[in-house]
């Protein structure tokens, strides 16, 4: 007598199971993507706020410079860890170079530069508070922190610039911003929003961050359409589409942009480099160098880039004296 009811019960369980699965998937998608649907661009200045507290946590002399590490706190709640390098022989206010390097280098990026004479360098750590190493489900665990660091890095750069330009050692007539490697994704944004910036440098960078992610994740092996789909989903989930420098670099004009790229750079595919070059408007200069992608361990590459930039920055300063 129970057999006629078995089939309807089975289909009822299957139907409700399917509905529950669809609801769970929709809830997961909402959790992941709703926070990044709207561009944070309209909130960058509010998030930057004003410097409420500047706490110098360490200071020392090294080579030709005085170094300061400090924590900046904004009245918006944003906290930025910065490092400032000032030439010891400074006698007058000097040009300011705001430098954003790779994730691993962070605020130590100023220390990587071999020698400076006539420029104040400031660099920051990415305002990330999640787990350092992220694998598999760890991505979801750190998702909010990853989304927030993408939103907070441009305001963090502008807050550091506010502080440094308020100091007596800074010459506000020459304000340079430099994005190196991963920093190239973010450096164009403060340049667009802050008219005090007089020139922008993008070294060993490119546009289209999702394409670059895919290039680096799968360059050692083949990839499937599933890999490509997952990479796109991760890229959009952290909000990389909102900081794509291809969307920002053209708005810097009429201030100059200098784009430096290495002929043997395996980190950024040629198409993403070309996309950034094409998006930049005049006045722009494109410089190609020999060698590989810049890393702190490749001293010859660091010296090569530093030499190109510092000769121009310090030379322009000396011409104004």
pLDDT at residue 255 above 70? yes
CA angle 67, 70, 76 (to 5 degrees): 150
- We report the CATH number of the domain holding residue 100 as 3.40.50.1820
SS3 186: coil
| Rounded Cα gap, residues 46 and 78, in angstroms | 10
- pLDDT for res 69: 96
**Res. 125: pLDDT tops 90:** yes
pLDDT of res. 1: 45
26 or 197, greater pLDDT: 197
Q: By the 8 A CB rule, do 82 and 72 touch? A: yes
Q: What is the pLDDT averaged over residues 82-106?
A: 92
Domain of 19?
A: 1-37
Sign of CA dihedral 10, 11, 14, 17: negative
Q: How confident is the model at residue 253 (pLDDT cuts 50, 70, 90)?
A: very high
pLDDT-based confidence at residue 200 (cuts at 50, 70, 90): very high
Q: Are residues 31 and 82 in the same domain?
A: no
Highest mean pLDDT among 21-25, 76-80, 89-93, 316-320: 76-80
On whether both 54 and 152 belong to a single domain, the answer is yes
pLDDT above 70: residue 220: no
Neighbours of 156 (CB within 10 A): 27
* 157 and 19, same domain (yes or no): no
Report residue 219's pLDDT band, with 50, 70 and 90 as the boundaries.
low
Asked whether residue 63 falls in the same domain as residue 109, the answer is yes
**Going by DSSP bridges, is the β-strand pair 170-180/94-100 parallel, antiparallel, or unpaired?**
parallel
Assess whether pLDDT exceeds 60 at residue 243. yes
Is residue 54 within 8 Å of residue 163, measured between CB atoms? yes
Q: Please count the structural domains in the chain.
A: 2
Q: pLDDT digits over 138-169, tens only?
A: 677 888 998 999 999 999 999 999 999 999 99
Q: What is the mean pLDDT of residues 214-223?
A: 67
Rounded CA separation 87/21 (Å): 62
Residues 225 and 285 in one domain: yes
Mean pLDDT calculated for residue range 31-55:
93
Q: Within this chain, do residues 6 and 62 fall inside the same structural domain, yes or no?
A: no
pLDDT surpassing 90 at residue 174: yes
Same domain? For 53 and 27 the reply is no
The answer to whether 96 and 168 are in contact (CB under 8 A) is: no
Do 130 and 74 share a structural domain? Answer: yes
Phi-psi region of 20 (alpha: psi -120 to 50; beta: other; left: phi over 0): alpha
Alpha helices in the chain (DSSP H): 3-33, 44-48, 109-112, 138-141, 143-165, 188-193, 209-218, 225-237, 270-279, 299-320
Q: Is 59 exposed, middle or buried (0-12, 13-18, 19+ CB in 10 A)?
A: exposed
pLDDT of 136 > 70? The answer is no
The confidence score (pLDDT) of residue 155 equals 97
Regarding whether 134 and 4 lie in a shared domain, the answer is no
Of 293, 32, 231, 53, the residue nearest 142 (C-alpha): 32
Report, as an integer, the average pLDDT of 286-302.
86
* pLDDT value at 315 more than 60: yes
Same domain flag for 27 and 73: no
**Count of other CB atoms within 10 angstroms of residue 21:** 10
What is the distance between the alpha carbons of residues 291 and 186, in angstroms, rounded to a whole number? 24
Q: Are 96 and 174 in contact (CB under 8 A)?
A: yes
Residues 85 and 234 in one domain: yes
Same domain, 175 and 255: yes
For a pLDDT cut of 70, what percent of the chain falls above it? 93
Confirm if 69 and 83 have CB atoms less than 8 A apart: yes
DSSP 181: G
In 3D space, the residue among 301, 56, 313 whose CA is nearest the CA of residue 164 turns out to be 56
* Rounded average pLDDT over 121-150: 81
Q: What average pLDDT is seen over the chain? A: 89
pLDDT at 117 > cutoff 50: yes
> Which value, in Å, is the radius of gyration of the alpha carbons in the chain?
23
């Amino acid at each position: 007598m129970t057999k006629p009811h078995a089939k309807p019960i089975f289909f009822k369980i299957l139907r409700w199971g399917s509905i529950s699965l669809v609801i769970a998937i929709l809830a997961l998608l909402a959790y992941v993507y709703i926070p990044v649907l709207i561009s944070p661009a309209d909130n960058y200045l509010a998030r930057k706020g004003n410097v409420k507290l500047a706490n110098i946590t360490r200071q020392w002399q090294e080579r030709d410079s005085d170094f300061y590490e400090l924590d900046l706190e904004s009245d918006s709640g944003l906290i930025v860890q910065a490092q400032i390098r000032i030439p010891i022989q400074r006698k007058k206010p000097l040009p300011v170079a705001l430098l954003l390097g790779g994730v691993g280098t962070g605020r130590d990026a100023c220390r990587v530069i071999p020698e400076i004479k006539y420029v104040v360098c400031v660099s920051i750590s990415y305002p990330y508070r999640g787990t350092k190493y992220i694998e598999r489900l760890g991505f979801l665990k750190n998702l909010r922190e990853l989304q927030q660091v993408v939103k907070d890095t441009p305001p963090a750069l502008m807050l550091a610039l506010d502080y440094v330009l308020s100091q007596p050692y800074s010459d506000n007539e020459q304000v340079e911003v430099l994005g190196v490697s991963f920093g190239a994704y973010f450096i164009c944004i403060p340049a667009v929003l802050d008219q005090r910036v007089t020139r922008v440098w993008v070294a060993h960078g490119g546009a289209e961050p999702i394409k670059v992610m895919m290039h680096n994740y799968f360059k050692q092996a083949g990839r499937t359409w599933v890999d490509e789909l997952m990479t796109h989903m991760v890229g959009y989930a952290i909000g990389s589409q909102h900081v794509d420098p291809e969307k920002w670099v053209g708005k810097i004009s009429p201030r100059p942009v200098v784009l430096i790229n290495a002929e043997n750079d395996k980190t950024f595919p040629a198409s993403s480099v070309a996309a950034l070059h094409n998006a930049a408007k005049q006045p722009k200069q494109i410089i190609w160098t020999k060698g590989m992608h810049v890393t702190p361990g490749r001293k010859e590459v660091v010296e090569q880039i530093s030499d190109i930039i510092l000769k121009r920055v310090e030379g322009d300063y000396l011409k104004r004296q």
